[in-house]
Amino acid sequence: MVSISAHNVGLSYRLGRKLSLAPRDLRLPVDQRISEHGRARYVRALDGVTFQLQAGDRLGLIGSNGAGKTTLLKVLHGVYQPNVGHVERIGKVDALFNISLGFRPHASGRRNIVLRGLINGWTRYQIEERMDGIIEFSELGEFIDMPFKSYSQGMAARLAFSVATALEPEILLMDEWIGAGDPAFQEKARDRMLELTQKAGIIILASHNHQLLKRICNKVLELDAGRVKAFRPAEEAFSKS
Amino acid sequence: MLNIYKRAANDMKDGLRLSAVWMALAKEDIGDQHRNTTLGPLWLVVNYLAFAASFIFLVRVGRDDPNYPAFVATGLLVWFYMMDVITNSVTLFLREENFIKGTTLPISVYVFRFFAQSVIRGGYALVGCIFILAVSGSAPTMVWLYSIFGIAILVMTAPAVIIIFAFVGALFPDSQFLITNLMRVGMFLTPVFWTYEGTGGIRHFFYYWNPFTYFLEIVRFPIVYNMVPVTPSLIAIGIGCGLWISALWLLGRLCRRIVFYL
């Protein structure tokens, strides 16, 4: 049974005051989450974040810019290691953060599917198995063997979307809802995303679009300055909107 | 301390398991660097040959040393490899920033990706070196096989060097310029194209106190002097072990934190 839980997760990191010959910024921090210890500055990005999700849960992450939504997603994915508390994941975690990551302009669309698949951790067999479906969904046709750099912005976005969503996730993390292409493709993309959310055991979606979250999610976690402000059912959270 | 090395070992193990990823990316990198050119990666051979031939021709004038082409060819082969590894490692994590911040791939994947690139580039230079050795009339002997052992030591030390310089570059961004300049000067302070005949003076210092010398000699000695370089091999292995101990310590200590430095 898939599940994901955060237990008192805290993340502080030293601000990148790198060893450099450039003159230093000596201004004092005004944000309470930035503290100074000796010559080092620390940012407290997350503090005491605790929640638990079971199979079937769809969590909406809300909060103002800088509240810690993306940081929390990256902690849950494993990009950042918390320095306090821990995260427990049961099930395969997939993330849709930067769908264009790793696309190579000179390689063909087909080669980019292979490379992106390898980066995603797919085996050669899984890549071959998904290849036709990805090409078909992207509607690139014969352009699939042309260099990626020759694609229009819409074509590139369609390919990136098709590869990124060719997953069978157990736990899916999303930083904003993704869409791509012209209006017709956007509709298709919306259906694919809904299908993906239905297939996944657990979804965590960070977004400012409360209408979307209301439609997709059954739980909402609101972050404020890296702390959990509220963790409650979606109907309750969006009852006024 | 033990945990640091355990973390580094796990990162390396996970990275090695993902060989399909870094090999594919490394091949793409090499291809991209020579995309749209007629000769493609063969330019790596041409570049090496042009440089080596210029040095052999210019420095050989007035010398009566039939081994000099082999001396320069092997010296440049090793030097170019070391220079490529060191100067490009400094910016490695900065180049891979988007991947490091957007995926959970182990840090060693980026190290191996660049290591594979450097080995491919070195392989092309080796073709050029073999060509010069053949043209210059150097007669192969069984002792030459020892050079393969020397190359193996050099190549096996490279990932450690990449790890160290990649972390140095990420923590101290100015280092990329310092190191590039030091390596440019280093070529003239290392016996790449000059010889040392035990006459003392400044050359004595630069010959014996320069760690690069030993990596040059373990490849060059068997070919040029038909001798097995026992002492340089032991010193190079010692340096290699020291570099690996330092590299794994850095990797274990910083692999989870490097994302915050970029």
What pLDDT digit, counting tens, does each position of B35-55 carry? Answer: 778 888 889 999 999 999 988
Distance from CA of A123 to the nearest CA of B (A): 9
Task: Choose from A12, A14, A17, A19 for mutation: most chain B CBs within 10 A.
Answer: A19
Nearest one of A90, A93, A72 to A3, comparing CA atoms = A90
Residue A216 corresponds to which amino acid? I
- Cβ of B257 within 8 Å of Cβ of A18? The answer is no
- Cβ of B172 within 8 Å of Cβ of A18? The answer is yes
Task: Choose from A119, A128, A174, A175 for mutation: most chain B CBs within 10 A.
Answer: A119
Average pLDDT over every residue of B221-242: 94
Distance from CA of B102 to the nearest CA of A (A): 7
Structure token pair of residue B49: 């040959």
Q: Of A13, A104, A111, which is closest to B260 when you measure between CB atoms?
A: A13
Measured in whole angstroms, the distance separating CA B107 from the mean position of its chain's CA atoms is: 20
Cα distance between residue A164 and residue A184, in whole Å: 19
B260 in contact with chain A, both atoms CB, cutoff 8 A:
yes
- Cβ of B172 within 8 Å of Cβ of A98? The answer is no
- Cβ of B260 within 8 Å of Cβ of A14? The answer is yes
- Cβ of A115 within 8 Å of Cβ of B28? The answer is yes
The pLDDT value recorded for residue B62 is 63
Domain A3-90+216-237 shares a fold with domain A96-204: yes
Q: Could you tell me if A100 and A160 are in contact, meaning their C-beta atoms sit under 8 angstroms apart?
A: yes
Specify the CATH number of the domain A96-204: 3.40.50.300
- DSSP letter for A31, please: S
The pLDDT value recorded for residue A24 is 63
Cα distance between residue A35 and residue A15, in whole Å: 10
The pLDDT value recorded for residue B235 is 97
- Cβ of A97 within 8 Å of Cβ of B262? The answer is no
Distance from CA of B255 to the nearest CA of A (A): 10
Give the residue on A whose Cα is nearest the Cα of B20: A118
Cβ contacts (< 8 Å) between A107 and chain B: which residues? 28
Q: How many CA within 13 A on the CB side of residue B224?
A: 22
In tens, the pLDDT along A90-144 reads 988 888 888 778 889 889 999 999 999 998 888 899 999 999 999 999 999 899 9
Q: Could you report the average pLDDT of every consecutive run of 10 residues in chain A (241 residues)? A: 92 72 62 73 89 91 91 93 93 83 89 91 91 92 92 87 83 80 79 80 89 88 92 85 56
Task: Choose from B17, B28, B97, B181 for mutation: most chain A CBs within 10 A.
Answer: B28
pLDDT at B188 over 60: yes
The pLDDT value recorded for residue A37 is 74
Listed by start position, the domains of chain A span: 3-90+216-237, 96-204
pLDDT at B259 over 80: yes
- Cβ of B104 within 8 Å of Cβ of A79? The answer is yes
What DSSP assignment string belongs to B101-128?
HH----HHHHHHHHHHHHHHHHHHHHHH
The pLDDT value recorded for residue B140 is 87
- Bridge partners of residue A220, in order along the sequence: A60, A232
Cβ contacts (< 8 Å) between A98 and chain B: which residues? 98, 102
Cα angle B90, A79, A169 (rounded to 5 degrees) comes to: 135
Distance from CA of A33 to the nearest CA of B (A): 16
Give the residue on A whose Cα is nearest the Cα of B105: A119
Distance from CA of B142 to the nearest CA of A (A): 42
In tens, the pLDDT along B65-77 reads 788 899 999 999 9
Weakest mean pLDDT among A92-96, A141-145, B226-230, B243-247 = A92-96
The predicted model scores a pTM of 0.88
The pLDDT value recorded for residue A22 is 66
Distance from CA of A98 to the nearest CA of B (A): 7
Radius of gyration of chain B (CA): 19
Give the residue on B whose Cα is nearest the Cα of A95: B103
Nearest one of A58, A52, A9, A7 to A172, comparing CA atoms = A58
- Cβ of A77 within 8 Å of Cβ of B104? The answer is yes
B76 in contact with chain A, both atoms CB, cutoff 8 A:
no
Q: Could you tell me if A64 and A222 are in contact, meaning their C-beta atoms sit under 8 angstroms apart?
A: no
pLDDT more than 70, % of chain A: 90
- DSSP letter for A27, please: P
Q: Could you tell me if B246 and B157 are in contact, meaning their C-beta atoms sit under 8 angstroms apart?
A: no
CATH 3.30.70.1560 describes domain A3-90+216-237:
no
The pLDDT value recorded for residue A26 is 61
- Cβ of A16 within 8 Å of Cβ of B261? The answer is yes
- DSSP letter for B199, please: -
In tens, the pLDDT along B107-128 reads 999 999 999 999 999 999 999 9
pLDDT more than 70, % of chain B: 98
The pLDDT value recorded for residue B78 is 96
Return the C-alpha torsion angle A230, A231, A232, A235, nearest 10.
70
What DSSP assignment string belongs to B22-59?
HHHHHHHHHHHHTTT-SSTTHHHHHHHHHHHHHHHHHH
The pLDDT value recorded for residue A213 is 87
The pLDDT value recorded for residue A17 is 60
| Alpha-carbon distance values, A67 to A206, A229, B213 (Å) | 11, 10, 54
Sign of CA dihedral B14, B20, B23, B28: negative
Give the residue on A whose Cα is nearest the Cα of B17: A121
pLDDT more than 90, % of chain B: 70
- Cβ of B25 within 8 Å of Cβ of A115? The answer is yes
Q: In what order do the strands lie in the sheet with A227-233?
A: A93-96, A171-175, A202-206, A58-62, A219-224, A227-233
Pairing, β A40-54 against β A34-37: antiparallel
The pLDDT value recorded for residue A71 is 93
Q: Of B31, B172, B259, which is closest to A80 when you measure between CB atoms?
A: B259
